[in-house]
Amino acid sequence: MPAYPVEGVTETLSIDVKDKVAVLTLDRPQVLNALNHQQRSNLEAAFRALDADVAVRVIVLQGKGRAFCAGQDQKESAAMDAAGAHRRIEGYASLYTLMRSLSKPIIARIQGYATGAGLQLALLSDLRIASTDAKLGMTELNVGSAAIMGSAFLLPLIGEAEMRRLVMMSEFVPAEKALSMKLLHEVLPADELDARVMAIATKMAGWPPLGIALTKEWWRKMGDELFFAAMDQARESHAKNFAAGGLSHGAKKFLERERG
């Protein structure tokens, strides 16, 4: 696919467009495509540009290497000051609000780990197609963060009991289990994943876009109350957690475990 230039997007996010399908690839494989401030900005700029382009009908979101996205970059969290903590939550608020408002369908192509904020990106996508090696988890508690948005995204999909278990246990769910829980729509062998994702994207790209846009607008409105309540709570909870030292302490402990 030919590269698709978007002003301000750095090399850690690649954008390719062919036959009305745009592929966004998180390109930080050395950290399992963990999200930092620059990558959140990249994604926001890319989504805005692609949603405005009438030549693009479908967006595929994927990660390079052995993970879809391992969530928030813990090195960034460990070094965060108050301004950085505020910037982070507002960055996620802006990105998530934008993703919910897109008129184009998003397909999350998932291999390896999709955890924390990475799983949230997948949950904000319209379809989640994964390989058999995928492992999904809402693991914020394990790194000292509060699972506010993750809980809100999970609740309507898998119900309160499964949401509480996933969050409280902070464990990874294998692909087939995630499929049975309705976290995923399809699971395929790794060597079949790309072909299936592109087949779905190509099919959807042939449909009249207005019908898709109007349907997505209604889906967004159905979830607005929970989304905005969760975002307000996330701002409050993460501010309290940062002030108490929970965010940076949890991130530092995570990095110590990684080095050990």
Top-tier CATH class for 13-193+202-259: alpha beta
Where along the chain do its domains lie?
A: 13-193+202-259
Q: Write the DSSP string, 99-153.
A: HHH-SS-EEEEE-BEEETHHHHHHHTSSEEEEETT-EEE--GGGGT---HHHHHH
Tell me how crowded residue 31 is: count the other CB atoms within 10 A of its CB.
Answer: 18
Alpha-carbon distances, residue 19 vs 55, 199, 242 (angstroms): 8, 12, 45
Query: What pLDDT digit, counting tens, does each position of 130-181 carry?
Result: 999 999 999 999 988 999 999 999 999 999 999 999 999 999 999 999 999 9
Q: Are 163 and 137 in contact (CB under 8 A)?
A: no
Residue 54 in tokens: 């009438």
Question: What average pLDDT does the structure give for the chain?
Answer: 93
β-strand pairing of 67-69 with 113-115: parallel
CA 199, chain centre distance (Å): 22
Query: What pLDDT digit, counting tens, does each position of 56-95 carry?
Result: 999 999 999 999 999 999 888 777 787 878 888 999 999 9
The structure's pTM equals 0.94
Query: What pLDDT digit, counting tens, does each position of 219-233 carry?
Result: 999 999 999 999 999
Partners of 131 in the β-ladder: 188
